[in-house]
Chain A
Amino acid sequence: MFSQPLAHHQHHQSLAEADAYHGKSAETRHLKPGELSTGTTIMAVQFNGGVVLCADSRVSTGSYVANRASDKIAQLHDHIWCCRSGSAADTQALTDYVKHYLSQLAIETGRLPEVKVAAHLMRRLCYQNKDYLMAGVIVGGWDPVSNGAVYNIPLGGACIPMPFALGGSGSTFIYGLVDAEYKENMTKDEALALVRKAVSHAMARDGSSGGIIRTLVATEEGNVKEFISGNKLPYGPAGW
């Protein structure tokens, strides 16, 4: 049974077992009792000249909201960022390591590191320590070679370059929405509108996601952080 993919665990779970892990989704079930989780919705979209990253702000322990306005978008280097999901402790440690390696690399090479390199470092850490980590990370940013790139690094430590990436428990609710709304070669504003709409809809249906929406746009010119209040989310019209 250990060989079964994630979803099958849910299937084979008895009711009693399900109760014992009440409030935990497939992704957060592995957390230790009391461990903080960014049971999350995160997203990144590439556009011509950069990327936009987006995240909700809810951090929970079980079903208690430990922080309702957290920032899950962490800076790895000048133009490189990542969205964190999974254990808050694990992903914070991971980003700290990658940040450290990238700053050293930037000094040695005397140039801006590539997003590809940031993603590779993150993947190596996630892959080699997969047994001890609960981390799903999206690495995205701008560099002079790629002119903007997004990499998705899910639980096991695979690393997959993508034009857009979704992650966290809330992402499962919005794959259909994003598949339908995504277009190639979007402008920055179109990409921003897409991630805000998508994450709003995930937050509305995923109990582990919520709060406000934080976005970050990384381009050659720099980084622009914005947020949308929890009462001004682009959601609906259906509200029931």
Chain B
Amino acid sequence: MASSGSGYDLSSSTFSPDGRIFQVEYASRAVESSGAALGLRCADGIVLCVEKPMNKKMMVTKNTPAGRRIYAVDGKTGLALAGYPGDGRQVANRAREEAANYLETYGSEIPPDVLAARLSAYVHYFTLHGALRPFGCTALLAGYDAATQRHSLHMVEPSGSCFEYYAAAAGRGRQPARTEMEKLAVNPTRAAAAAASGGAGGVGGEEGMERGQQLISVAEGVRQLAKIVYTIRDSGGNGGSGASKDGPFEIEMSWLCEKTGWKHVGVPKDVMEEAVEWAKREIEAEGEEEDEDDDEEDGMEE
């Protein structure tokens, strides 16, 4: 590491000669080693999901607020975090302050894009000063804008960058997770293009998007996210369910959707359990298919 920074990585207040701020990059790396945080913008709402590794066997996890990684910002906004939990809590608290302050000042709820922008300005501030450490966390912000009746998902990264997404992932396994999420019908323009061009493999090669396919619902989103979490944990072997090769873990999920009156609440536990069961079955079935394929290939080789 020392060679990669070559003296320019000790403070975020100094650029390296090729224009990089190593401390910010290291902060991003801190996020990469955390359990994944996923967000999916569906037709009728947004689902947030975090994967929580439970590596310590003696840890108390039931009925305790400790270790939570999805926070409520105001009634209609939720925040899922990947990275250092302490840093994440700081960001969540700031989000709450911004939301409460906006409500007090303007007598109306803060629009999600404004909250995301303010939050990213806050996170960005910590990348400017030599005396400050950038946040080692990435925040996924799910919100509903009552004025425009639109729901949106934003991701704020340690650099202070902030974009809106149809699907976003942070933390360990975010790349395979993104690949999986790209197959889901969550992007209206791509879904429409896929439908118009006659189905899968149309414009941009939309794998998995059938002709005339509707955008998926939050109910479907919950199942898909559960499947993705199990998939990314299992990738590389140990197929099936339960504790993966990475050890035991928990899933935390929340949503805000038409059905909850656009309130951000936890996904009901029975819905989550059902989704997890479905995910495990799917993964198992896909595993069997692959096995069959392998058998055939073996057969041909013979």
A interface residues (Cβ-Cβ under 8 A, vs B)? 105, 108-111, 114, 116-117, 119-121, 123-124, 144-145
Instruction: Check A105 against B106 for contact (C-beta < 8 Å).
Output: yes
What are 22 A-B contacts defined by CB distance under 8 Å?
Answer: A105-B106, A108-B114, A108-B117, A109-B111, A109-B113, A109-B114, A110-B113, A111-B148, A114-B147, A116-B107, A117-B107, A117-B108, A120-B106, A120-B107, A120-B108, A121-B105, A121-B106, A121-B107, A124-B105, A124-B107, A144-B147, A145-B147
**Considering the chains assembled together, what is the distance between the CA atoms of A40 and B113 in angstroms?**
42
Output the residue of A105, A109, A114, A119 with the most chain B CB within 10 A: A109
Residues in A neighbouring B111, C-beta threshold 8 A: 109, 111
Q: Look across to chain A and name the residue whose beta carbon is closest to the beta carbon of B117.
A: A108
Residues in B neighbouring A105, C-beta threshold 8 A: 106
**Considering the chains assembled together, what is the distance between the CA atoms of A117 and B117 in angstroms?**
20
Closest 5 CB pairs of A and B: A120-B107, A117-B106, A145-B147, A117-B108, A109-B114
Min C-beta distance of B198 to chain A, whole Å: 37
Residues in B neighbouring A108, C-beta threshold 8 A: 114, 117
Min C-beta distance of B94 to chain A, whole Å: 17
How many residues in B have their beta carbons less than 8 Å from beta carbons of A?
10
Output the residue of B105, B107, B108 with the most chain A CB within 10 A: B107
Residues in B neighbouring A110, C-beta threshold 8 A: 113
Q: Look across to chain B and name the residue whose beta carbon is closest to the beta carbon of A159.
A: B107
Q: Look across to chain B and name the residue whose beta carbon is closest to the beta carbon of A120.
A: B107
Instruction: Pick the contact of A114: B108, B113, B114, B117 (CB < 8 A).
Output: B108
Q: Beyond the given A111-B147, A124-B107, could you list 13 further A-B residue pairs with CB under 8 A, ordered by the A residue number?
A: A105-B106, A109-B111, A109-B113, A109-B114, A110-B113, A111-B111, A114-B108, A121-B105, A121-B106, A121-B107, A123-B107, A124-B105, A145-B147
Residues in A neighbouring B117, C-beta threshold 8 A: 108
**Considering the chains assembled together, what is the distance between the CA atoms of A89 and B29 in angstroms?**
58
**Considering the chains assembled together, what is the distance between the CA atoms of A117 and B114 in angstroms?**
15
**Considering the chains assembled together, what is the distance between the CA atoms of A145 and B105 in angstroms?**
19
Instruction: Check B108 against A116 for contact (C-beta < 8 Å).
Output: yes
**Considering the chains assembled together, what is the distance between the CA atoms of A54 and B148 in angstroms?**
30
Q: Look across to chain A and name the residue whose beta carbon is closest to the beta carbon of B103.
A: A120
**Considering the chains assembled together, what is the distance between the CA atoms of A116 and B103 in angstroms?**
12
**Considering the chains assembled together, what is the distance between the CA atoms of A104 and B10 in angstroms?**
38
Please encode chain B, from 94 to 118, with 1 for each CB lying within 8 Å of some chain A CB and 0 for all others: 0000000000011110010110010
**Considering the chains assembled together, what is the distance between the CA atoms of A120 and B111 in angstroms?**
16
**Considering the chains assembled together, what is the distance between the CA atoms of A46 and B147 in angstroms?**
20
Min C-beta distance of B148 to chain A, whole Å: 8
Residues in B neighbouring A121, C-beta threshold 8 A: 105-107
Min C-beta distance of B7 to chain A, whole Å: 39
**Considering the chains assembled together, what is the distance between the CA atoms of A116 and B108 in angstroms?**
8
**Considering the chains assembled together, what is the distance between the CA atoms of A105 and B117 in angstroms?**
13
Residues in B neighbouring A120, C-beta threshold 8 A: 106-108
Q: Look across to chain B and name the residue whose beta carbon is closest to the beta carbon of A121.
A: B106
Residues in B neighbouring A119, C-beta threshold 8 A: 107
Residues in A neighbouring B105, C-beta threshold 8 A: 121, 124
Min C-beta distance of B116 to chain A, whole Å: 12
Q: Look across to chain B and name the residue whose beta carbon is closest to the beta carbon of A143.
A: B147
**Considering the chains assembled together, what is the distance between the CA atoms of A117 and B109 in angstroms?**
10
Q: Look across to chain A and name the residue whose beta carbon is closest to the beta carbon of B108.
A: A117
Residues in A neighbouring B148, C-beta threshold 8 A: 111
